[in-house]
Structure formats: structure tokens, C-alpha cells
Amino acid sequence: MAAKDTSNVIKHNNLPKINVGMVIFVIISLYIVFSVYSYIKRDQIRYYEVLEGSIVRQEQYSGVALREEEAVDAVSSGYIHYYIQDGKRVAVGSAVYTVDETGSLESYLKEHPELTQELSSEQVADIRYKLSDFSQSFKNINYSDLYNTKISLDAATLEYSSISSTQDLDSVLSQLGINYSRISADKAGVVSYSIDGYENLTPDAVTEDMFLMNGYKMNITKPGDLVEGGVPVYKLITSSNWSIIFPLDDEIKEKYQNMHKVKVHFTDKDLYTNAVLDVYTASDGHEYGQLSLNELMEEFCDERFIRFEIVTSDRRGLKIPLSSITGKDFFIVPRDFMVTNEDGTTGFNRQTISADGTGTNVEFVESDIYRLDQQYCYITIPEKTDTNDLKLNDFIVRPGVQGSQNADVSNTYHVGPVKTLQGVYNINRGFCVFRQIIPIEQNNEYAIVEKNTDYGISVYDHIVMDASLVYEGQLIYQ
């Protein structure tokens, strides 16, 4: 059998064809993925808008409240009912409470509950707020707060549940033949139904054991309670002037030794007031601070132990993050070497070598003076060596000195010493510009800096949040 002629057979290349479009698509996809990944991983440059603010430093204490107050005893035994709400002022001769010795009035009131005030929606909301505030701030270490909150709630319900429409009640009871004793106030003042036995306490009698509150008890007589004659049923506060005594240690004493007027913040009620601070030694030999106040007495008339803060610093200015603060070096040149021309330009007289090398000349170098203080001019250090600006190792002479004849050591200055100024990077114009700041206060996160400083920042300026991520002149896209 004859062999087949395969000379005319064409062999096909089985290698896969390259799709150029697919290659381009893959490259673009990889570039996009890489760009997105790089963007996510790199440090983000964020900006901060400068606003006015303050940093308040406060020291927290707990003290015992002293007032011009006296406990008033019940004139006889019986069921008691009040005409005056807790914390309200009463005039001389005004009725404060009634005592029903037989219980007839008590029985009548129970049969006619409409004679006592019902709690309004605002009063219920106030009690709920007190409970909510207590539940959010309570800590086991401050277990005494539980007792104080109970006292506060008792005082609030007492205030909201006094007998209403007294004249109508008197008329009805008179017709029914129900007799009771109405007791009036002998003095004018603020009525409080919280009695704790400290009504006559004086600053000299305060002891350190009192602040432990061991065995401390405050009694509140409620409407309808059966009281015995001769037992205190309310107290009368006769002056708006009161004081708070708190213990001092050596460190606190030294801090407040020279402070006489202070600002006080009552944290529980978020109230501020001014007070006079005095340091004294009590009869137990320990030193105490005494805050003398003339307002807010009614707000705390039913409290004996009060938490408060003394404001030690309240500085206002421009508030910026600490992370925005950086430093920049400047040449410092004594002010008396500065030259101001008639056209208002400022600069320095630089000493140069004459053309023949046998002497020196003086040339004026206009300079951008970044800052002036009482002693120095601050000049930007040039980045390039071929500039005509004042550079390292230049010599300048005092104004009025020409050539070398008077250029002795006292009249020349060698440019070289530098000083670092604190500042931030301003990006209002789209690139980083160093602006100096003068901090006046700071905490762990923010600093308060002076306003209206030369070459400084202003309200609503945009600054870099983290100065370590940028450099001066860097373009920033906001």
C-alpha cells in the first residue's frame, strides 16, 4: 500500500490567543484594587475647624452645710399636717402646721382625699427624673448616696402633698365641730422638714468623724404622722447666708492658702455660684476650708452633706486638639539689630567682604520677621543656600554701623542660634502653612490658645488634625 503524501498538510498552532482587551481590563482592575487598598491603609489626613472654647479644671470635695437654723418642737402630741411646703418662706405669724390631738381631723382627711393635692404631671416627671439620675450615677463605693436619694425623694413628695385650700378646710371642719391646734411661726424664714440634730453645729465644732457619716440619720416628718409634744417637727432657717465646711490635707491647704474668692460648682444640680474661701483650725486640731455663700440656700436647705467642686481654672480661647500642635525652628536675632526703612520694609544690615578682599561692606537684607517679642526677632530659616535671605553663619551689624571701622564685637551678631515655636498647620489655602500658637491651658485631649496672635489662627480656620502626617507646603485636598 502506498504511503500518504503529507507534504501539503498545514499544522495549526494550538496556543491560546491573547485577548488584549481582557489584559487591559485586568490591569485596570488590579490598579483600582491597589489604589483602594493603599487609600484605606494609609494614614488619613483630616482637618479640624477651630472654634472658641474653654478648659475648666475642678477639684471635687464633700462638705457639711451650716446655716442659721433652729429646730422647732411640736407644741403637743397628735397628728400633724402642714400648710407650708418644704423649702418655702414663711412670714411671722403665718400658719405652719396643725396638730389634731383626737385624730378626728386625720379620719376626716382620709375620708376626703380630695382635700390634699394630687401630684401634677410635672411633679411626677420631677420625681422620675430624680430616680433616673440616681440610677445612672449610683456607684457601690458611694453607698451613702442611696440614703441621700431617699431623703431627697421624701422631701419632694412632702412638698407636693401639702393640704390645699386651707380656708375651705377650716370652714368645713368648724361646721363639723372638729377642733385642732393651728401653730404659727414666731420668726420669718425658710421652712424645712429635714431634722438631723446638726441645726446648732458651728464651724469650730466640726470633726473629721462627721464626714464618715457613721450613724448619721436625717428625720423627715410627713403629713399625717403621729408626733409627740416636744419633738422637733420642722426647722426654720432665718438667713440666706450659709457655709460649707470641708476637710483639708497639707496639699489642698497649700493650694488654697492664698485663694480667697472661688467659683463653686454643685455637681448634682449643675449649679454655679461664687463663694469666699477661708482656711481655719477647728477645736479638734484639724484644718478645714470654709466656703461662705449668700445664695442657693433654698436649693440645699434639706441637705446636710453636699458634693461640690471648686473651679481652679477656667481659661477661654481657641480650642484645638493636642495632636495638631507641632514645632518649627526659627533664627532668633536681637531686636536692636532690626532695621525699619522709611517705606516700611524691615530687615537687617548684613556684613559682606569687599570686592578686593581688604575690607567689609554692609548691605540691607529685607527679611520676613515671623514674630517679635521683647527681646528677639524670629526669622524663617531658608531651605535653599542660594537665596539672598539671611542664612546660617551670616554676620549682621547694628543700624548705623557702616563698613568695618565700627563693626566691633558688640555691634555684630552671628546668625545661628535658633528657637522652636509651637504652632499648627493651617490649610485654608489648600496647602500647609505653619501658624504659631501660644497655649494657655490644656488637658489630655485639647489645648486652649490665645486669640488674635500675630501669624496665628482665628475662629473657623481649618488646621490639620494630626500634624505628624504632613509637612509645610504640602498640598491638601479637603
pLDDT at position 425 is 95
For cell 475662629, name the residue: 459
Angle at 221 between CA 216 and CA 227, to 5 degrees: 110
Instruction: Please indicate, yes or no, if residue 139 is contained in any of the structural domains.
Output: yes
Query: Rounded to 5 degrees, what are φ and ψ at 172?
Result: -65, -45
Write out the E strands in 367-454.
369-372, 376-380, 395-397, 412-414, 418-426, 433-436, 439-442, 446-449
Give per-residue pLDDT as tens, 110-159.
676 655 556 667 777 777 777 776 676 655 545 545 655 665 565 565 55
Are residues 332 and 413 in contact, defined by beta-carbon separation less than 8 angstroms? no
Instruction: Please indicate, yes or no, if residue 54 is contained in any of the structural domains.
Output: no
Give per-residue pLDDT as tens, 431-452.
999 999 999 988 889 999 999 8
More confident position, 166 or 44: 44
CA distance 450 to 457: 9
Asked if residue 444 and residue 386 are part of one domain, the reply reads: yes
Asked if residue 199 and residue 99 are part of one domain, the reply reads: yes
Instruction: Please indicate, yes or no, if residue 65 is contained in any of the structural domains.
Output: yes
Counting residues of the chain whose pLDDT is more than 70, the rounded percentage is 79
Asked if residue 403 and residue 425 are part of one domain, the reply reads: yes
Instruction: Please indicate, yes or no, if residue 309 is contained in any of the structural domains.
Output: yes
Least confident of 19-23, 46-50, 161-165, 390-394: 161-165
- Nearest by Cα to 95 from 104, 109, 84, 106: 84
Are residues 278 and 290 in contact, defined by beta-carbon separation less than 8 angstroms? yes
The DSSP code sequence of 134-200 is: HHHH--GGGTHHHHHHHHHHHHHHHHHTPBP-HHHHHHHHHHHT---EEEE-SS-EEEE-EE-S-TT
Asked if residue 356 and residue 334 are part of one domain, the reply reads: yes
Asked if residue 182 and residue 114 are part of one domain, the reply reads: yes
pLDDT at position 296 is 92
More confident position, 301 or 21: 301
Asked if residue 382 and residue 233 are part of one domain, the reply reads: no
Give 215's pLDDT tier (boundaries 50, 70, 90): confident
Asked if residue 286 and residue 339 are part of one domain, the reply reads: no
Query: Rounded to 5 degrees, what are φ and ψ at 182?
Result: -105, 125
**Cα separation values, 275 from 289, 294, 340, Å:** 12, 8, 52
Record the pTM.
0.63
Sign of CA dihedral 243, 199, 83, 269: positive
Write out the E strands in 198-338.
219-220, 226-227, 232-247, 261-266, 271-281, 287-293, 305-321, 326-334
Backbone φ/ψ region at 467: left (φ over 0), alpha (ψ -120 to 50), beta: alpha
Query: Domain boundary at 296, 316, 336, which?
Result: 316
Are residues 309 and 267 in contact, defined by beta-carbon separation less than 8 angstroms? yes
pLDDT at position 42 is 60
Instruction: Please indicate, yes or no, if residue 242 is contained in any of the structural domains.
Output: yes
Asked if residue 343 and residue 217 are part of one domain, the reply reads: no
Instruction: Please indicate, yes or no, if residue 387 is contained in any of the structural domains.
Output: yes
Give 267's pLDDT tier (boundaries 50, 70, 90): confident
Residue type, 434: F
- Total structural domains in the chain? 2
Neighbour count for residue 236 (Cβ, 10 Å):
20
**Residues constituting the chain:** 478
For cell 488619613, name the residue: 44
Asked if residue 414 and residue 284 are part of one domain, the reply reads: no
Asked if residue 164 and residue 275 are part of one domain, the reply reads: yes
Are residues 434 and 327 in contact, defined by beta-carbon separation less than 8 angstroms? no
Query: Domain boundary at 298, 316, 334, which?
Result: 316
Instruction: Please indicate, yes or no, if residue 23 is contained in any of the structural domains.
Output: no
With 0-12 CB in 10 A as exposed, 13-18 as middle and 19+ as buried, what is 85?
A: middle
Residues near 151 by beta carbon (within 8 Å), at least 6 away in sequence: 194, 218, 220, 302, 303
Q: In this structure, are strands 189-192 and 78-82 parallel, antiparallel, or unpaired? A: unpaired
Give 164's pLDDT tier (boundaries 50, 70, 90): very low
pLDDT at position 153 is 63
The whole domain housing 164 covers 59-316
Q: Which three cell numbers stand for residue 170?
A: 377650716
Instruction: Please indicate, yes or no, if residue 241 is contained in any of the structural domains.
Output: yes
Least confident of 83-87, 97-101, 307-311: 83-87
pLDDT at position 57 is 81
Asked if residue 334 and residue 307 are part of one domain, the reply reads: no
pLDDT at position 466 is 93
Asked if residue 298 and residue 197 are part of one domain, the reply reads: yes
Query: Is pLDDT at 161 greater than 60 in this prediction?
Result: no
CA distance 97 to 21: 98
Residue type, 318: L
Neighbour count for residue 80 (Cβ, 10 Å):
24
**Cα separation values, 380 from 2, 416, 421, Å:** 99, 12, 11
Query: Domain boundary at 249, 283, 316, which?
Result: 316
